[in-house]
Structure 1
Amino acid sequence: MGKRWRYKLLTCFAVAGLITFVAVLVFNRTPLPKKTPTPKELYDVISPSTYRFILNQPELCEKKSPFLVLMIPVTLKDTEARTAIRRTWGQDGLSPRVTVLHLFVIGQPAQSDPVLQEHLERESKEFGDIIQMDFVDSYHNLTIKTMMIMNWIATYCQGAWYAMKIDADIFLNVRYLVDYLLDQGESSRKDYICGSVISDAVPHRDTFNKWYISEDLYPDTWYPPYVSGAAYVFSTDLARKISWASRFVRPIPLEDVYVGLCLHILGVKPMYATTFLGLGNLFEVRRLKYERCTFAKRIIVNGFNPQNLVRIWHDFKKSYFTC
């Protein structure tokens, strides 16, 4: 009787566990929003067909067959930042296992600057790493710039495995990122986006707040999960899908939230990247004081001007042999 009683008890626990598991799946499933096309006059704001290329590198991925493409939004005047990145994490050959490319994505200033424009065109000829389009470069147009990045990847670089949108004031540990992506395996080759996930954000209704969004522009009381715009990496198939989803998402001036809204349309959940046992964020959006071995165990760290980036890079490049 004892064995039979234990068998029945274990069976009851197993059935109860199965019922609980199914219930969690059912009740935690977030329904996809209805796909209502955005009015043409609003979609045109972010549509690739609205803008034209001034400078482009259309054959770069075809010639290089990259594993990873780093897409770096900068402005016309950010000459020093571009130089610092080329001297640090944007240089060739940092990961001997794969090919990593970088591209700077630029709009136009509200007021033309022929001198800086001429300098940019010389830069483009020398380095072959600049994409420029004729939208106005401003903070409120970062969503436009991000959607131009997605369209460029979908049009010219779909053969790459991954792309990364990364700001110019970020420290990037290229080798750690490549190793991390290679470890993810086939599951990260489709519908994959990874970074510092923000899952509890609500719209700011205070007009003095930098991230203010009016109820007219965004009436919902919450944002779906999204990755911090400082830096995130994604499988290149998502570039085309996000571009498609943008037809159903009204433009807002918060580019990272906007990408999250497109992911919500697609039913894609962003992934949070952590260190061993989940004790640290690999996409460190806080500002950390430089410490070589700490930085060696992060994919990104936020908040470096060009001079500091170059200064710490000379020390950091020894970290793989000493940490």
Structure 2
Amino acid sequence: ELALALNEVHQDIVYVDFIDTYQNLTVKTMMIMNWLATYCPSARYAMKVDADIFVNVPYLVRYLQNQGESSQKDFITGSVINDGCPRRNQRSKWYLSKEAYPESRFPPYVSGAGYVFSIDLAKKISWASRYVRPIPMEDVYVGLCLHFLDVQPVFSRTFLPYRNLFEIRHLEYDACTYAQRIIVTGFTPSQLLNIWTDFQKDRLAC
């Protein structure tokens, strides 16, 4: 009901006909890719981000500008996981049977907490999904589609000092710490509102 009310005001919510459950995240993500490819072909980038994520928009914009033209085609970046393996324990939230995925390792993929990609990849990933068998873990599935397309995800990080710019751990709020990250995870909606208000004031002093 709240979503319907907000959409009446802003008209910025896209409704798609499927059941929105954790097991359907892959379906949801592929529908997003198809929608982006259809309605946003003139955009340069798109970002997938979970609802509990702080996003440092100014840093993100500067980061993408610094990447130059190389980031405008076949580009996807975030927190890259290079050593992912399927969980075979049936009690695991991320259980994946050998029938669904017989390989012992996943190709590199970006954490689903948040990632950014050049808009051309939306159409390519959507196309690849016709040939890549679906699994319920959407971030891994995007990685499988990237592997099919022979596209390597880019790990957004700095080395001196080392920072994962797409931080998939929860960090206690500090404006100067957050000013050096693109995302940080693990917040309630009210926390995000409070943090963003403070961040807008304090980040420029860092």
Aligned to 2:136: 253
- Quote the RMSD (CA, aligned, Å): 1.1
| One-letter identity of the residue aligned with 2:177 | T
Contact kept, 8 Å, 1:172 with 1:300, in 2: the verdict is yes
Aligned to 2:154: 271
| One-letter identity of the residue aligned with 1:132 | Y
| One-letter identity of the residue aligned with 2:98 | E
Determine what percentage of the aligned residue pairs are the same residue.
61
Please state whether the residue corresponding to 1:165 is helix, strand or coil: strand
C-alpha distance in 1 between matches for 2:185 and 2:5: 30
Contact kept, 8 Å, 2:47 with 2:114, in 1: the verdict is yes
C-alpha distance in 2 between matches for 1:259 and 1:277: 30
2:26 aligned with 1:136, yes or no? Answer: no
| One-letter identity of the residue aligned with 1:123 | L
Alpha carbons of structure 1 residues 248 and 299: separation in structure 2 relative to 1, 3 Å: same
1:289 to 143, 161, 172: 172
C-alpha distance in 2 between matches for 1:294 and 1:122: 36
Cα deviation, 1:58-97, whole Å, max 9, x if unaligned, reads xxxxxxxxxxxxxxxxxxxxxxxxxxxxxxxxxxxxxxxx
Offset of 1:307 from its aligned partner? 1.5
Offset of 1:320 from its aligned partner? 3.3
Number of equivalent positions? 206
Larger Cα-atom Rg? 1
C-alpha distance in 2 between matches for 1:300 and 1:190: 22
Offset of 1:218 from its aligned partner? 0.6
2:202 aligned with 1:308, yes or no? Answer: no
Please state whether the residue corresponding to 2:74 is helix, strand or coil: coil
2:9 to 126, 144, 155: 126
Give 1:1-323 correspondences, 5 Å limit: 116=1, 119-277=2-160, 279-323=162-206
C-alpha distance in 2 between matches for 1:238 and 1:153: 10
Contact kept, 8 Å, 1:296 with 1:319, in 2: the verdict is no
Tell me, which stretches of 5 or more residues in structure 1 are unaligned? 1-115
Aligned to 1:107: none
Tell me, which stretches of 5 or more residues in structure 2 are unaligned? none
Cα deviation, 1:134-186, whole Å, max 9, x if unaligned, reads 10010000000000110011000010000000011000000100000001000
Offset of 1:275 from its aligned partner? 2.5
C-alpha distance in 1 between matches for 2:161 and 2:44: 26
Offset of 1:278 from its aligned partner? 6.1
C-alpha distance in 2 between matches for 1:209 and 1:311: 34
C-alpha distance in 2 between matches for 1:294 and 1:123: 32
| One-letter identity of the residue aligned with 2:116 | V
C-alpha distance in 2 between matches for 1:222 and 1:285: 21
C-alpha distance in 2 between matches for 1:274 and 1:175: 16
Contact kept, 8 Å, 1:205 with 1:214, in 2: the verdict is yes
Aligned to 1:72: none
Offset of 1:319 from its aligned partner? 2.9
| One-letter identity of the residue aligned with 1:314 | T
Contact kept, 8 Å, 2:175 with 2:203, in 1: the verdict is no
Offset of 1:276 from its aligned partner? 4.9
TM (normalized to structure 1)? 0.62
Offset of 1:311 from its aligned partner? 1.7
Which structure would you say has the larger RCO, counting Cα contacts within 8 Å and 6 or more residues apart?
2
